[in-house]
Structure 1
Amino acid sequence: MVRFLPTVLLGAQLLAPVLGHSLPRFQPREDNVTITYPYPELGTDAPADYATTGYFINHLCITVKNLTESVGFYSGVFGLRKLFTLHVSEHFTITYMGHSHGGKNGTGYQTALELNREKNNAEGLIELIHADVHQKDLKSSTEQPNTFAHIGMVVPDIQATRKRLEALPGVEVLKKHGNTIPIGGKVAAATGLHPEVIAQLSEAELKQISATLDAANKELIFVADPDGNLIEIQAQEGSELV
Protein backbone atom coordinates (compact mmCIF):
# COMPACT_ATOMS: atom_id res chain seq x y z
CA MET A 1 0.00 0.00 0.00
CA VAL A 2 2.83 2.36 0.91
CA ARG A 3 4.46 1.54 -2.41
CA PHE A 4 1.47 2.93 -4.33
CA LEU A 5 1.05 6.09 -2.23
CA PRO A 6 3.48 8.27 -4.28
CA THR A 7 1.66 7.22 -7.45
CA VAL A 8 -1.71 8.14 -5.96
CA LEU A 9 -0.40 11.51 -4.80
CA LEU A 10 1.11 12.20 -8.22
CA GLY A 11 -2.19 11.32 -9.88
CA ALA A 12 -4.03 13.71 -7.60
CA GLN A 13 -1.57 16.49 -8.47
CA LEU A 14 -2.07 15.87 -12.17
CA LEU A 15 -5.86 15.81 -11.87
CA ALA A 16 -6.15 18.93 -9.72
CA PRO A 17 -5.68 21.43 -12.59
CA VAL A 18 -8.22 19.53 -14.69
CA LEU A 19 -10.81 19.37 -11.92
CA GLY A 20 -10.20 23.04 -11.21
CA HIS A 21 -11.82 23.99 -14.51
CA SER A 22 -15.44 24.31 -13.46
CA LEU A 23 -18.09 23.47 -16.03
CA PRO A 24 -21.61 24.88 -16.11
CA ARG A 25 -24.47 22.58 -15.23
CA PHE A 26 -25.60 21.33 -18.60
CA GLN A 27 -29.19 20.18 -18.42
CA PRO A 28 -31.27 19.09 -21.40
CA ARG A 29 -34.14 21.44 -22.21
CA GLU A 30 -37.49 19.71 -22.09
CA ASP A 31 -39.94 20.08 -24.95
CA ASN A 32 -43.29 21.81 -24.54
CA VAL A 33 -42.14 23.95 -21.62
CA THR A 34 -41.47 27.64 -21.28
CA ILE A 35 -37.88 28.43 -22.23
CA THR A 36 -35.89 30.14 -19.51
CA TYR A 37 -32.78 32.04 -20.55
CA PRO A 38 -29.89 31.73 -20.33
CA TYR A 39 -29.32 28.01 -20.78
CA PRO A 40 -26.20 26.27 -22.14
CA GLU A 41 -26.49 23.63 -24.85
CA LEU A 42 -23.83 20.96 -24.65
CA GLY A 43 -22.28 19.74 -27.88
CA THR A 44 -22.89 16.17 -29.02
CA ASP A 45 -20.53 13.25 -28.43
CA ALA A 46 -20.84 12.15 -32.04
CA PRO A 47 -17.36 11.77 -33.55
CA ALA A 48 -16.25 13.99 -36.39
CA ASP A 49 -16.13 12.70 -39.95
CA TYR A 50 -13.21 10.25 -40.06
CA ALA A 51 -12.06 11.94 -43.26
CA THR A 52 -11.20 15.04 -41.19
CA THR A 53 -8.78 13.19 -38.88
CA GLY A 54 -5.70 15.36 -38.45
CA TYR A 55 -7.49 18.63 -39.23
CA PHE A 56 -6.83 21.52 -36.84
CA ILE A 57 -6.88 25.33 -36.87
CA ASN A 58 -3.35 26.48 -37.61
CA HIS A 59 -3.62 30.26 -37.91
CA LEU A 60 -5.84 33.27 -38.38
CA CYS A 61 -5.02 36.11 -40.73
CA ILE A 62 -5.51 39.85 -40.39
CA THR A 63 -4.64 42.71 -42.71
CA VAL A 64 -2.50 45.44 -41.14
CA LYS A 65 -1.73 49.03 -42.08
CA ASN A 66 1.74 49.25 -40.53
CA LEU A 67 3.71 46.00 -40.39
CA THR A 68 6.48 47.28 -38.12
CA GLU A 69 3.96 48.60 -35.61
CA SER A 70 1.88 45.41 -35.65
CA VAL A 71 4.88 43.09 -35.26
CA GLY A 72 6.12 45.25 -32.39
CA PHE A 73 2.71 45.14 -30.70
CA TYR A 74 2.15 41.39 -30.87
CA SER A 75 5.75 40.73 -29.88
CA GLY A 76 6.10 43.32 -27.12
CA VAL A 77 2.64 42.99 -25.57
CA PHE A 78 1.82 39.31 -26.03
CA GLY A 79 5.16 37.62 -26.61
CA LEU A 80 4.55 36.30 -30.12
CA ARG A 81 7.72 35.82 -32.15
CA LYS A 82 8.16 36.37 -35.84
CA LEU A 83 8.59 33.17 -37.80
CA PHE A 84 9.26 34.93 -41.09
CA THR A 85 8.29 37.76 -43.42
CA LEU A 86 7.85 36.84 -47.07
CA HIS A 87 8.48 39.86 -49.28
CA VAL A 88 6.18 38.94 -52.14
CA SER A 89 6.90 42.18 -54.00
CA GLU A 90 8.15 45.69 -53.30
CA HIS A 91 4.94 46.69 -51.51
CA PHE A 92 3.35 43.39 -50.43
CA THR A 93 4.44 41.14 -47.56
CA ILE A 94 3.18 38.14 -45.58
CA THR A 95 4.36 37.68 -41.98
CA TYR A 96 3.75 34.81 -39.57
CA MET A 97 3.97 35.15 -35.79
CA GLY A 98 3.38 32.70 -32.94
CA HIS A 99 4.38 31.44 -29.51
CA SER A 100 6.88 28.67 -28.87
CA HIS A 101 5.01 25.38 -28.60
CA GLY A 102 7.44 23.44 -26.42
CA GLY A 103 5.73 24.48 -23.20
CA LYS A 104 3.84 27.28 -21.46
CA ASN A 105 6.08 27.60 -18.40
CA GLY A 106 9.03 29.31 -20.03
CA THR A 107 10.95 26.13 -20.83
CA GLY A 108 9.68 25.75 -24.38
CA TYR A 109 12.03 28.14 -26.19
CA GLN A 110 12.47 27.45 -29.90
CA THR A 111 14.79 29.11 -32.37
CA ALA A 112 13.34 30.84 -35.42
CA LEU A 113 14.35 27.86 -37.55
CA GLU A 114 12.62 25.46 -35.15
CA LEU A 115 9.47 27.60 -35.15
CA ASN A 116 9.42 27.48 -38.95
CA ARG A 117 10.10 23.75 -39.03
CA GLU A 118 7.04 23.20 -36.81
CA LYS A 119 4.89 25.83 -38.56
CA ASN A 120 2.43 23.40 -40.13
CA ASN A 121 2.11 21.44 -36.86
CA ALA A 122 1.56 24.58 -34.76
CA GLU A 123 -1.66 26.11 -33.49
CA GLY A 124 -2.54 29.70 -32.65
CA LEU A 125 -0.40 31.44 -35.26
CA ILE A 126 -1.23 34.88 -36.63
CA GLU A 127 -0.64 35.80 -40.27
CA LEU A 128 -0.21 39.51 -41.00
CA ILE A 129 -0.91 40.67 -44.55
CA HIS A 130 0.53 44.08 -45.38
CA ALA A 131 0.24 46.17 -48.53
CA ASP A 132 2.53 49.19 -48.16
CA VAL A 133 0.14 51.61 -49.84
CA HIS A 134 -2.42 54.12 -48.58
CA GLN A 135 -5.62 52.33 -47.49
CA LYS A 136 -8.20 54.74 -46.11
CA ASP A 137 -11.07 52.23 -46.20
CA LEU A 138 -9.39 49.45 -44.18
CA LYS A 139 -11.46 49.35 -40.98
CA SER A 140 -11.37 47.03 -37.97
CA SER A 141 -14.40 45.58 -36.19
CA THR A 142 -14.17 48.28 -33.49
CA GLU A 143 -14.57 50.91 -36.21
CA GLN A 144 -17.07 49.14 -38.46
CA PRO A 145 -18.81 45.91 -37.37
CA ASN A 146 -18.02 42.91 -39.54
CA THR A 147 -17.80 39.15 -39.20
CA PHE A 148 -14.52 39.28 -37.27
CA ALA A 149 -15.08 39.78 -33.53
CA HIS A 150 -11.87 39.25 -31.58
CA ILE A 151 -8.73 37.26 -30.90
CA GLY A 152 -8.85 35.31 -27.62
CA MET A 153 -5.71 35.29 -25.45
CA VAL A 154 -5.33 33.17 -22.29
CA VAL A 155 -2.90 34.27 -19.56
CA PRO A 156 -1.78 32.49 -16.37
CA ASP A 157 -2.25 35.53 -14.09
CA ILE A 158 -4.88 38.11 -15.06
CA GLN A 159 -3.88 40.58 -12.33
CA ALA A 160 -0.22 40.52 -13.32
CA THR A 161 -1.30 41.03 -16.94
CA ARG A 162 -3.52 43.95 -15.94
CA LYS A 163 -0.65 45.70 -14.17
CA ARG A 164 1.69 45.04 -17.09
CA LEU A 165 -0.75 46.43 -19.65
CA GLU A 166 -1.26 49.55 -17.55
CA ALA A 167 2.51 50.11 -17.50
CA LEU A 168 3.09 49.52 -21.21
CA PRO A 169 3.06 52.69 -23.33
CA GLY A 170 0.71 52.91 -26.28
CA VAL A 171 -1.55 49.97 -25.38
CA GLU A 172 -5.23 50.88 -25.77
CA VAL A 173 -7.23 49.10 -23.06
CA LEU A 174 -10.87 49.27 -24.16
CA LYS A 175 -12.28 47.31 -21.20
CA LYS A 176 -10.48 47.04 -17.87
CA HIS A 177 -10.60 44.04 -15.55
CA GLY A 178 -13.56 44.39 -13.19
CA ASN A 179 -15.62 46.57 -15.54
CA THR A 180 -18.62 45.51 -17.57
CA ILE A 181 -19.14 46.04 -21.30
CA PRO A 182 -21.71 48.79 -21.89
CA ILE A 183 -24.13 48.09 -24.71
CA GLY A 184 -23.55 50.68 -27.40
CA GLY A 185 -19.81 50.93 -26.84
CA LYS A 186 -16.88 49.86 -29.05
CA VAL A 187 -16.39 46.45 -27.46
CA ALA A 188 -20.08 45.53 -27.60
CA ALA A 189 -20.29 46.67 -31.22
CA ALA A 190 -17.32 44.49 -32.14
CA THR A 191 -18.77 41.45 -30.40
CA GLY A 192 -22.17 41.20 -32.04
CA LEU A 193 -24.12 44.04 -30.41
CA HIS A 194 -23.69 46.83 -32.94
CA PRO A 195 -26.36 49.51 -33.50
CA GLU A 196 -28.20 47.61 -36.23
CA VAL A 197 -28.65 44.61 -33.92
CA ILE A 198 -29.53 46.70 -30.86
CA ALA A 199 -32.28 48.48 -32.81
CA GLN A 200 -34.01 45.14 -33.43
CA LEU A 201 -33.91 43.82 -29.86
CA SER A 202 -36.38 44.73 -27.15
CA GLU A 203 -35.28 46.57 -24.04
CA ALA A 204 -36.12 43.47 -21.99
CA GLU A 205 -33.89 41.27 -24.13
CA LEU A 206 -31.02 43.77 -23.99
CA LYS A 207 -31.30 43.76 -20.19
CA GLN A 208 -31.25 39.95 -20.25
CA ILE A 209 -28.10 39.94 -22.38
CA SER A 210 -26.36 42.41 -20.08
CA ALA A 211 -27.40 40.54 -16.94
CA THR A 212 -26.09 37.28 -18.38
CA LEU A 213 -22.79 38.52 -19.75
CA ASP A 214 -21.80 41.11 -17.15
CA ALA A 215 -20.58 38.58 -14.58
CA ALA A 216 -18.34 36.78 -17.07
CA ASN A 217 -17.16 39.95 -18.80
CA LYS A 218 -15.97 41.52 -15.54
CA GLU A 219 -13.14 38.99 -15.43
CA LEU A 220 -11.99 39.83 -18.96
CA ILE A 221 -9.72 42.51 -20.36
CA PHE A 222 -10.15 43.85 -23.89
CA VAL A 223 -7.40 45.70 -25.72
CA ALA A 224 -7.06 46.91 -29.31
CA ASP A 225 -4.11 46.22 -31.57
CA PRO A 226 -2.64 49.07 -33.69
CA ASP A 227 -5.35 48.57 -36.33
CA GLY A 228 -8.20 48.45 -33.81
CA ASN A 229 -8.67 44.68 -33.85
CA LEU A 230 -10.11 43.48 -30.55
CA ILE A 231 -8.14 41.12 -28.29
CA GLU A 232 -9.90 39.41 -25.39
CA ILE A 233 -7.71 38.41 -22.45
CA GLN A 234 -8.93 35.86 -19.94
CA ALA A 235 -7.39 33.96 -17.04
CA GLN A 236 -6.46 30.32 -17.55
CA GLU A 237 -8.23 29.36 -14.33
CA GLY A 238 -11.70 30.31 -13.12
CA SER A 239 -13.13 31.78 -16.33
CA GLU A 240 -16.81 31.39 -17.12
CA LEU A 241 -18.32 29.56 -20.08
CA VAL A 242 -17.80 32.43 -22.54
Structure 2
Amino acid sequence: MVRILPAIVFGSQLLSTVVSHSILGMLPREGQFPYPIVGGDEPANSATLASIEFYTELLGFRKLFTLQITKTYSITYLAHAQGGKNGTGYQTTLEMNREKNNAQGLLEICYVDVPVKNIESGRQHPNTFGHIGIVVPDIQAFQQRLDTLPHISVLKRSGEPFLELDPNIVVGPAVGLLPDIVEQLDEEERKAIVQNFGQSVEPLIFVADPDGNFIEVQPQEGAALVG
Protein backbone atom coordinates (compact mmCIF):
# COMPACT_ATOMS: atom_id res chain seq x y z
CA MET A 1 0.00 0.00 0.00
CA VAL A 2 1.44 3.35 -1.05
CA ARG A 3 0.67 6.85 0.16
CA ILE A 4 2.12 10.02 -1.28
CA LEU A 5 2.97 12.60 1.34
CA PRO A 6 3.17 16.41 1.28
CA ALA A 7 6.17 18.39 2.41
CA ILE A 8 5.36 17.96 6.11
CA VAL A 9 5.09 14.30 6.97
CA PHE A 10 2.27 13.00 9.16
CA GLY A 11 2.64 13.63 12.89
CA SER A 12 2.36 10.09 14.14
CA GLN A 13 3.33 9.93 17.80
CA LEU A 14 5.02 6.60 17.26
CA LEU A 15 7.23 7.82 14.44
CA SER A 16 8.00 11.15 16.08
CA THR A 17 9.05 9.35 19.26
CA VAL A 18 11.48 7.21 17.31
CA VAL A 19 12.99 10.06 15.31
CA SER A 20 12.76 12.90 17.85
CA HIS A 21 16.30 12.25 19.10
CA SER A 22 17.50 11.84 15.50
CA ILE A 23 16.92 8.59 13.70
CA LEU A 24 20.50 8.82 12.50
CA GLY A 25 21.94 8.03 15.92
CA MET A 26 19.90 4.87 16.44
CA LEU A 27 21.20 1.46 15.51
CA PRO A 28 18.96 -1.51 14.64
CA ARG A 29 17.99 -3.45 17.72
CA GLU A 30 16.73 -6.85 16.64
CA GLY A 31 13.86 -8.04 18.79
CA GLN A 32 13.14 -4.59 20.27
CA PHE A 33 10.35 -2.87 18.38
CA PRO A 34 10.10 -0.36 16.90
CA TYR A 35 13.59 0.14 15.46
CA PRO A 36 14.76 2.01 12.33
CA ILE A 37 16.96 0.76 9.51
CA VAL A 38 18.54 3.75 7.77
CA GLY A 39 18.97 3.50 4.00
CA GLY A 40 22.39 3.48 2.35
CA ASP A 41 23.90 5.89 -0.16
CA GLU A 42 24.16 3.24 -2.87
CA PRO A 43 21.36 2.28 -5.31
CA ALA A 44 18.67 -0.03 -3.99
CA ASN A 45 19.33 -3.75 -4.09
CA SER A 46 17.31 -5.54 -6.78
CA ALA A 47 16.28 -8.10 -4.17
CA THR A 48 14.22 -5.54 -2.23
CA LEU A 49 10.46 -5.62 -2.05
CA ALA A 50 8.68 -5.09 -5.35
CA SER A 51 7.28 -1.63 -4.54
CA ILE A 52 10.59 -0.31 -3.22
CA GLU A 53 12.41 -1.67 -6.27
CA PHE A 54 9.85 -0.08 -8.60
CA TYR A 55 10.14 3.40 -7.12
CA THR A 56 13.93 3.30 -6.79
CA GLU A 57 14.75 1.57 -10.09
CA LEU A 58 12.26 3.34 -12.34
CA LEU A 59 11.61 6.68 -10.67
CA GLY A 60 14.90 7.36 -8.93
CA PHE A 61 13.65 7.44 -5.35
CA ARG A 62 16.12 6.58 -2.59
CA LYS A 63 15.35 4.80 0.64
CA LEU A 64 15.51 7.06 3.69
CA PHE A 65 14.76 4.40 6.26
CA THR A 66 12.52 1.48 7.18
CA LEU A 67 10.78 1.64 10.55
CA GLN A 68 10.26 -1.95 11.67
CA ILE A 69 7.19 -1.64 13.93
CA THR A 70 6.86 -5.37 14.62
CA LYS A 71 8.05 -8.60 12.99
CA THR A 72 5.36 -8.32 10.32
CA TYR A 73 4.63 -4.59 10.03
CA SER A 74 7.03 -1.99 8.64
CA ILE A 75 6.95 1.49 7.13
CA THR A 76 9.50 2.60 4.52
CA TYR A 77 10.15 6.19 3.48
CA LEU A 78 11.47 7.02 0.00
CA ALA A 79 12.54 10.42 -1.33
CA HIS A 80 14.55 12.30 -3.91
CA ALA A 81 17.58 14.43 -3.07
CA GLN A 82 16.55 18.04 -2.45
CA GLY A 83 19.91 19.78 -2.99
CA GLY A 84 20.73 21.95 -5.99
CA LYS A 85 18.40 23.14 -8.72
CA ASN A 86 15.35 20.86 -9.03
CA GLY A 87 16.96 18.32 -6.73
CA THR A 88 20.00 17.78 -8.95
CA GLY A 89 22.49 18.22 -6.10
CA TYR A 90 23.64 15.03 -4.41
CA GLN A 91 22.73 14.41 -0.77
CA THR A 92 23.83 11.50 1.37
CA THR A 93 21.13 9.42 3.01
CA LEU A 94 22.08 10.90 6.38
CA GLU A 95 21.57 14.41 5.00
CA MET A 96 18.24 13.42 3.46
CA ASN A 97 17.06 11.97 6.79
CA ARG A 98 18.13 15.11 8.62
CA GLU A 99 16.08 17.27 6.23
CA LYS A 100 13.17 14.82 6.02
CA ASN A 101 10.47 17.06 7.48
CA ASN A 102 11.41 19.90 5.10
CA ALA A 103 11.54 17.68 2.01
CA GLN A 104 8.96 17.55 -0.76
CA GLY A 105 7.41 14.53 -2.43
CA LEU A 106 8.12 11.88 0.19
CA LEU A 107 6.66 8.45 -0.43
CA GLU A 108 5.55 6.16 2.38
CA ILE A 109 5.17 2.43 1.77
CA CYS A 110 3.38 0.39 4.43
CA TYR A 111 4.04 -3.35 4.40
CA VAL A 112 2.35 -6.09 6.40
CA ASP A 113 3.75 -9.61 6.01
CA VAL A 114 0.61 -11.74 6.12
CA PRO A 115 -0.33 -14.86 4.11
CA VAL A 116 -3.28 -13.29 2.27
CA LYS A 117 -2.66 -9.90 0.65
CA ASN A 118 -5.86 -8.93 -1.16
CA ILE A 119 -6.04 -5.14 -0.84
CA GLU A 120 -7.29 -3.74 -4.14
CA SER A 121 -5.70 -0.68 -5.72
CA GLY A 122 -7.58 2.24 -7.21
CA ARG A 123 -7.00 0.72 -10.64
CA GLN A 124 -8.63 -2.57 -9.62
CA HIS A 125 -11.43 -0.97 -7.61
CA PRO A 126 -11.83 2.70 -8.64
CA ASN A 127 -12.31 5.11 -5.76
CA THR A 128 -11.61 8.75 -4.94
CA PHE A 129 -7.83 8.30 -5.26
CA GLY A 130 -6.64 9.05 -8.78
CA HIS A 131 -2.89 8.86 -9.25
CA ILE A 132 0.57 9.89 -8.12
CA GLY A 133 2.20 12.53 -10.32
CA ILE A 134 5.88 12.63 -11.26
CA VAL A 135 7.68 15.27 -13.37
CA VAL A 136 10.75 14.28 -15.41
CA PRO A 137 13.15 16.58 -17.33
CA ASP A 138 13.06 14.47 -20.53
CA ILE A 139 9.89 12.50 -21.25
CA GLN A 140 11.39 10.76 -24.30
CA ALA A 141 14.41 9.58 -22.33
CA PHE A 142 12.01 8.25 -19.71
CA GLN A 143 10.00 6.46 -22.41
CA GLN A 144 13.19 4.89 -23.77
CA ARG A 145 14.09 3.71 -20.29
CA LEU A 146 10.65 2.15 -19.93
CA ASP A 147 11.27 0.22 -23.14
CA THR A 148 14.24 -1.49 -21.45
CA LEU A 149 12.08 -2.58 -18.49
CA PRO A 150 9.51 -5.03 -19.89
CA HIS A 151 8.28 -5.97 -16.40
CA ILE A 152 6.85 -2.46 -15.88
CA SER A 153 3.13 -2.14 -16.64
CA VAL A 154 2.83 0.73 -19.14
CA LEU A 155 -0.79 1.86 -19.54
CA LYS A 156 -0.18 4.76 -21.92
CA ARG A 157 2.94 5.78 -23.84
CA SER A 158 3.92 9.38 -24.52
CA GLY A 159 2.39 10.53 -27.79
CA GLU A 160 -0.51 8.10 -27.74
CA PRO A 161 -3.65 10.15 -28.41
CA PHE A 162 -6.64 10.36 -26.10
CA LEU A 163 -9.34 9.91 -28.75
CA GLU A 164 -12.41 8.59 -26.99
CA LEU A 165 -13.99 8.49 -23.56
CA ASP A 166 -14.91 4.86 -23.10
CA PRO A 167 -15.60 3.29 -19.68
CA ASN A 168 -12.99 0.66 -20.50
CA ILE A 169 -10.18 3.12 -21.33
CA VAL A 170 -7.55 2.24 -18.78
CA VAL A 171 -6.40 5.81 -18.08
CA GLY A 172 -9.91 7.04 -17.27
CA PRO A 173 -9.96 6.13 -13.56
CA ALA A 174 -6.57 7.79 -13.10
CA VAL A 175 -8.03 11.19 -13.99
CA GLY A 176 -11.37 10.88 -12.20
CA LEU A 177 -13.26 9.42 -15.17
CA LEU A 178 -14.50 6.25 -13.49
CA PRO A 179 -16.71 3.88 -15.50
CA ASP A 180 -19.87 4.69 -13.52
CA ILE A 181 -19.16 8.41 -13.95
CA VAL A 182 -18.59 8.15 -17.71
CA GLU A 183 -21.82 6.21 -18.16
CA GLN A 184 -23.74 9.19 -16.75
CA LEU A 185 -22.31 11.66 -19.27
CA ASP A 186 -24.14 12.32 -22.52
CA GLU A 187 -22.37 11.95 -25.85
CA GLU A 188 -21.85 15.70 -26.30
CA GLU A 189 -20.14 16.01 -22.91
CA ARG A 190 -17.88 13.02 -23.61
CA LYS A 191 -16.75 14.53 -26.91
CA ALA A 192 -16.11 17.89 -25.23
CA ILE A 193 -13.91 16.28 -22.57
CA VAL A 194 -11.86 14.46 -25.21
CA GLN A 195 -11.52 17.60 -27.35
CA ASN A 196 -10.54 19.90 -24.46
CA PHE A 197 -8.46 17.44 -22.45
CA GLY A 198 -6.90 15.21 -25.08
CA GLN A 199 -4.09 17.56 -26.08
CA SER A 200 -2.94 17.87 -22.45
CA VAL A 201 -2.93 14.10 -21.93
CA GLU A 202 -1.18 13.13 -25.18
CA PRO A 203 2.45 13.77 -24.07
CA LEU A 204 1.94 12.07 -20.71
CA ILE A 205 2.92 8.55 -19.71
CA PHE A 206 0.86 6.39 -17.37
CA VAL A 207 2.30 3.34 -15.63
CA ALA A 208 1.14 1.15 -12.75
CA ASP A 209 3.23 0.25 -9.72
CA PRO A 210 3.35 -3.35 -8.40
CA ASP A 211 0.25 -2.69 -6.28
CA GLY A 212 -1.65 -1.40 -9.31
CA ASN A 213 -1.59 2.29 -8.37
CA PHE A 214 -1.58 4.77 -11.26
CA ILE A 215 1.57 6.85 -11.82
CA GLU A 216 1.30 9.83 -14.18
CA VAL A 217 4.60 11.04 -15.65
CA GLN A 218 4.74 14.58 -17.05
CA PRO A 219 7.53 16.32 -18.96
CA GLN A 220 9.04 19.33 -17.21
CA GLU A 221 8.52 21.34 -20.40
CA GLY A 222 6.01 21.09 -23.21
CA ALA A 223 2.88 19.82 -21.44
CA ALA A 224 0.75 22.95 -21.33
CA LEU A 225 -2.63 22.74 -19.61
CA VAL A 226 -4.16 24.76 -22.43
CA GLY A 227 -2.92 24.42 -25.99
TM-score (norm 2): 0.74
1:112 maps to 93
Asked whether the 8 Å contact 2:138–2:220 carries over to 1, the reply is: yes
Q: Do 2:80 and 2:87's aligned partners in 1 also have CA atoms closer than 8 Å?
A: no
Provide the residue aligned with 1:175 in structure 2: 156
Q: How does 1:1-242 map to 2 (within 5 A)?
A: 57-58=7-8, 68-104=49-85, 107-181=88-162, 182-183=164-165, 184=167, 185-241=169-225
Tell me the matched-pair count: 181
Distance 1:107 1:57, change over 3 A: closer
Q: 1:161 to 1:210 in 2, by over 3 A?
A: same
Residue ranges of structure 1 left out of the alignment (5+ in a row):
1-55, 61-66
One-letter amino acid matched to 1:100: A
Identity %: 50
Runs ≥4 residues deviating over 4 A:
104-107
Deviation digits for residues 117-166 of structure 1, max 9, x if unmatched?
00001010000011111444411111111111111111111111111111
Q: Structure 1 residues 197 and 134, CA, compared in 2 at 3 Å: closer, same or farther?
A: farther
Q: Which has the larger radius of gyration?
A: 1
In structure 2, list runs of 5 or more residues that go unmatched: 1-5, 11-47
- Tell me how large the CA RMSD over aligned residues is: 1.9
In structure 1, the partner of 2:37 is: none
With normalisation by structure 1, the TM-score equals 0.70
- What's the offset of the Cα at 1:197? 0.3
Higher helix share: 1
Quickly say closer, same or farther: Cα 1:105–1:121, change in 2 above 3 A. Answer: closer
